[in-house]
Amino acid sequence: MTISMSTPDFLIERDRDRCIKCQVCVRQCANEAHFWDEEEQKVKANDALCVDCHRCVTYCPTHALTIRKYPLEFRENANWTASTIKAIYRQAETGGILLTGMGNDRPYPIFWDHLLLNASQVTNPSIDPLREPMELKTFLGRKPDQLKVEDGRLVEEIPPQLELEVPIMFSAMSYGSISLNAIKSLAAAAERVGIMYNTGEGGLHKDLYKYGKNTIVQVASGRFGVHPEYLQAGAAIEIKIGQGAKPGIGGHLPGEKVGLEVSQTRMIPEGTDAISPAPHHDIYSIEDLSQLIYSLKEATQYQKPVSVKIAAVHNIAAIASGIARAGADIIAIDGFRGGTGAAPLRTRDNVGIPIELALAAVDSRLREEGIRNQVSLVVGGSIRNSADVVKAIALGADAVYIATAALISLGCHLCQKCNTGKCNWGIATQNPQLVKRLNPEIGAERAANLIMAWEHEIKELLGGMGINAVESLRGNRLMLRGVGLSDRELNILGVLPAGE
């Protein structure tokens, strides 16, 4: 074998004065970057194995550890960057597709950071959320054009709606791609704060049925774990067409991750690869999608809203409009920064468009077509904080999906190695030793705290704008101004430049 040209990405620095040789780091690092050298009676490290997940740093009792970027530099070259060169070394060694986890990390423009929010001054008072009610309740589902009211009574029921206390939901993450404890954390948090979590395409583990009213059950191309009871179990059903991190391609859960419980939940043999085809093999056009939407509605007696999740791609406005006409009650759009358990690197980093532009284009198109109220719009990929939520709603979203932020609340450090199954934080792994590192009760509390914290912040921002109900922010692009954007971008976003 020839020598590997790959060099470490990170440098593990151990302060020998501080290290007490407790070997906690050795036990904590599933990547086996730390090891005990019997001969020298020392803890040593193999830098090449480190993914910079901070697990050892957090757990080292004497704070002896620091992880740094590996100082080895290539000769400066603006075109051939270190990551580009290293990728070629890796491919030259393996001949394979480069895989990665989490969302696109390339320095594309982040439009959220070019949008600024409004506040009241003099002509209209701001509202103090501590003194006045501040309402965030949100309904997702098809809205009729009008109500029929007679003698003070509603004479025609409105279609089924998801009721959210805060316009935020936990986005789809399957059992298999993340651990059962991670899902339990999110499910319990969703119940606590009155929102939804989403099963992803991995089916619904038997322990999770009790969270049904806070669950969106997903039907994806692999149809894993889909059966009548499953469809009935949730508050809504989501058809997954695509996801922002890998539009146009399917999914692959390697056999090693398909243990007994995963196999039972997904209804596939233990140890077999779970392959989700790129397209649904019964959906090759919009009419086919419509058939699936109505099959699912039939199967659940029209009692549950049906969502269709798509990745933000170039022609998103027309696609979304078609989906609305195909009968979807909710359209979930995932931007190109959306996370994933595993995706080909080149796809993740180069396919799709930013969610901000996709959202603005879709909301505008649906309004032009006069069908915006027939569907709810949910956007994700990536919503990083409460200000992003507020901006998304002002652009026209009914609610947002968060996944990366939710995982970070559980301890994820964004090392982007979800695909390896060695998640040191017990999130993206099926290794029982690692899974039990995540206590679902503590996880639930942390994820619920995150939502509550954002809820407070959203209320504060709304109050500042003189708004006390989130529906008055929805699509209210006058509350936004752009900075550092071209005319064309402002146009697509439908916002004025700051100062105008």
Residues that bind other proteins (CB under 8 A): 120, 123-125, 127, 132-133, 135, 137, 139, 143-147, 149, 152-154, 158, 161, 367, 370, 372-373, 394, 465-469, 471-479
Measured from the CB atom, the residue of 145 and 298 that comes closer to other proteins is 145
- 195 lines the binding site for ligand SF4 (CB under 6 A): no
376 forms beta bridges with: 330
DSSP 400-423: EEESHHHHHHHT----S-GGGT--
Of these, 9, 35, 48, 54, which contacts ligand SF4 (CB under 6 A)?
Answer: 54
- 21 lines the binding site for ligand SF4 (CB under 6 A): yes
Look at residue 79 and give the partner it binds from other proteins, ligand SF4, none, a contact being a CB closer than 5 to 8 Å depending on partner kind.
Answer: none
Q: Is 39 exposed, middle or buried (0-12, 13-18, 19+ CB in 10 A)?
A: exposed
- 65 lines the binding site for ligand SF4 (CB under 6 A): yes
Look at residue 169 and give the partner it binds from other proteins, ligand SF4, none, a contact being a CB closer than 5 to 8 Å depending on partner kind.
Answer: none
- 102 lines the binding site for ligand SF4 (CB under 6 A): no
Measured from the CB atom, the residue of 41 and 146 that comes closer to other proteins is 146
- C-beta atoms surrounding 392 within 10 Å: 27
CB of 138 to ligand SF4, least distance (A): 38
d(CA 376, CA 304): 14
Measured from the CB atom, the residue of 172 and 467 that comes closer to other proteins is 467
Rule CB under 6 A: which of 402-431 touch ligand SF4?
A: 424
Look at residue 152 and give the partner it binds from ligand SF4, other proteins, none, a contact being a CB closer than 5 to 8 Å depending on partner kind.
Answer: other proteins
- Indicate the DSSP class of residue 171: P
CB of 491 to ligand SF4, least distance (A): 45
Measured from the CB atom, the residue of 43 and 359 that comes closer to ligand SF4 is 43
Per CB under 6 A, which region of 64-72, 128-136, 277-285, 310-318 contacts ligand SF4?
A: 64-72
- 213 lines the binding site for ligand SF4 (CB under 6 A): no
Measured from the CB atom, the residue of 90 and 252 that comes closer to ligand SF4 is 90
Measured from the CB atom, the residue of 37 and 76 that comes closer to ligand SF4 is 37
Look at residue 51 and give the partner it binds from other proteins, ligand SF4, none, a contact being a CB closer than 5 to 8 Å depending on partner kind.
Answer: ligand SF4
- 55 lines the binding site for ligand SF4 (CB under 6 A): yes
d(CA 469, CA 120): 15
3-state secondary structure the chain: CCCCCCCCCEEEEECCCCCCCCCHHHHHCCCCCEEEECCCCEEEECHHHCCCCCHHHHHCCCCCEEEEECCCCCCCCCCCCHHHHHHHHHHHHHCCCCEECCCCCCCCCCHHHHEEECCCCCCCCCCCCCCCCCECCEEECCCCCCCCEECCEECCCCCCCEEECCCEEECECCECCECHHHHHHHHHHHHHHCCCEECHHHCCCHHHHHHHHHEEEEECCCCCCCCHHHHHHCCEEEEECCCCCCCCCCEEECHHHCCHHHHHHHCCCCCCCEEECCCCCCCCCHHHHHHHHHHHHHHCCCCCCEEEEEECCCCHHHHHHHHHHCCCCEEEEECCCCCCCCEEHHHHHHCCCCHHHHHHHHHHHHHHCCCHHHCEEEEECCCCCHHHHHHHHHHCCCEEEECHHHHHHHCCCCCCCHHHCCCCCCCCCCCHHHHCCCCHHHHHHHHHHHHHHHHHHHHHHHHHCCCCEHHHCCCCHHHEEECCCCHHHHHHHCCEECCC
Whole-number Cα distances in Å, 103 to 245, 381, 417: 6, 8, 11
Look at residue 22 and give the partner it binds from ligand SF4, other proteins, none, a contact being a CB closer than 5 to 8 Å depending on partner kind.
Answer: ligand SF4
Measured from the CB atom, the residue of 178 and 394 that comes closer to other proteins is 394
d(CA 401, CA 408): 14
Measured from the CB atom, the residue of 66 and 486 that comes closer to ligand SF4 is 66
CB of 181 to ligand SF4, least distance (A): 19
Measured from the CB atom, the residue of 8 and 466 that comes closer to other proteins is 466
- 29 lines the binding site for ligand SF4 (CB under 6 A): yes
Look at residue 432 and give the partner it binds from other proteins, ligand SF4, none, a contact being a CB closer than 5 to 8 Å depending on partner kind.
Answer: none
Of these, 8, 9, 11, 22, which contacts ligand SF4 (CB under 6 A)?
Answer: 22
Give the total of residues touching ligand SF4 (CB under 6 A).
29
Site map (CB under 6 A) of ligand SF4, residues 30-49, x = contact: -x-xx--------x------
CB of 130 to other proteins, least distance (A): 14
Measured from the CB atom, the residue of 19 and 278 that comes closer to ligand SF4 is 19
Look at residue 383 and give the partner it binds from other proteins, ligand SF4, none, a contact being a CB closer than 5 to 8 Å depending on partner kind.
Answer: none
Look at residue 215 and give the partner it binds from other proteins, ligand SF4, none, a contact being a CB closer than 5 to 8 Å depending on partner kind.
Answer: none
What residues make contact with ligand SF4 under the rule CB under 6 A? Answer: 12, 14, 19-25, 28-29, 31, 33-34, 43, 50-56, 60-62, 64-65, 67, 424
